Amino acid sequence: MASGLDFEMGPAATTLREELRALVAEEVPAGYLGAFTDDPADLAVAQRFCGVLAERGLLCLAWPAEYGGRDASVWEQAVVREEMWAAHEPRGAQYMGVNWVGPTIMRHGTPEQKAQHLPPIARGEVIWCQGFSEPEAGSDLASLRTAARPDGDTWRISGQKVWTSYATMAQWCFLLARTSREERRQQGLTVFLVPMTNPGIEVRPIRSMLGPHHLNEVFLDDVVVDAANVLGAVGDGWRVVQEVLAFERVGIARYARCERLLETAPALLGQAWEELAGELRGRWARILVQCRRARLLAYRVLALQSEGRVTPGDSAAYRIAVTRLDQDVAEVLTEIVAAAPLDGAEGEEFRAEVEDHWRYSQASTVSSGAIDVQRVLLARALLPAAS
């Protein structure tokens, strides 16, 4: 019997990791902390890097070849996902199109929608945003009020979305709106593929104490959308969105960045690491174990997805683990950089990475589904319904 856990996926995955790390080192500037800063050059880096990945067939590796992929396994795509998140996601917002917008269009889109949207995503040329949450419909998404009414061959949509990532730079919005009032709130919802250039759309960035961010409010005032831009059947949006959320939550490999930051600390400190308080180093070790446990949960959900058996409870378990991990890692690393001598360019760069991670982690337990809601989903999956 094996005495430990083996996280390796074989020689092909190792070669792929080496290729990706070499590309990041060559194409991404030192000190890069992501595409969404006050410096427009950072977004330009991400867009250029997406083109590099696309040219090598690495951006949508696991997509079918007919849609611009390489028919690779979901595990090879997981390698790409992990390496990108470990390097502060130099794909920028493209992971959204790659991980779930494109695959959802493959499953539910018309031939015309596939031909229109999949090639630009595979080339890294288009940014999507997600129009789900509203001021009074965040964790309780089924209570959304944004309404779409039919008007001949078009729909007219009015309402407000909030916490909409990338809306200031996106060309398209994956939008959920109510098209009818039904007995159950989950019924009567429809997904629309909305051009962000349509008249009647106003985007207002949301600033916060956490610094530069990609969150926005989106106001829709009688926005006209062609009937051809309905994804799936009218009224079937809830089923489509539940599938989307399962893919979205496991597609964000935050554990990979957490693990890299944790492992960097002792390597960077050298002998000074041994001079830190034993209690602090002990917490570091426990959190590293927690990090690898989150990786195993991600792999479990990925295996279920590949078999078409993933449930909301599976995704919720992973989401709970990785968001708590984000905050625990931020806490222990903040204490380490405060207590340790970190001199020179490498030390300053690591401090900046830790601060960036701390900023993100503050909202991690409420973004993409509040952790309390995830606990409810997990409880429903684990406990049999009352008879």
Helices and strands per DSSP (H, E), number in the chain: 12, 8
Residue 231's DSSP bridge partners are 191
What whole-number distance in Å separates Cα of residue 328 and Cα of residue 8? 25
- Burial (CB count <10 Å: 0-12, 13-18, 19+), residue 165: buried
Please give the radius of gyration of the chain, using alpha carbons only, rounded to the nearest integer: 21
Residue 223's DSSP bridge partners are 157
What whole-number distance in Å separates Cα of residue 97 and Cα of residue 59? 10
What whole-number distance in Å separates Cα of residue 349 and Cα of residue 92? 20
Chain-centre distance for alpha carbon 343: 33
Count of other CB atoms within 10 angstroms of residue 294? 26
DSSP state of 153: T
Count of other CB atoms within 10 angstroms of residue 295? 22
Q: Closest by alpha carbon to 257, among 196, 316, 322, 170? A: 322
- Burial (CB count <10 Å: 0-12, 13-18, 19+), residue 309: exposed
The secondary structure element, H or E, covering residue 222 is strand 216-226
Give the pairing type, strands 172-178 and 128-131. parallel
Q: What positions carry a catalytic annotation?
A: 248
What whole-number distance in Å separates Cα of residue 108 and Cα of residue 106? 6
Are 166 and 214 spatial neighbours (Cβ–Cβ below 8 Å)? yes
Give the pairing type, strands 154-161 and 189-195. unpaired
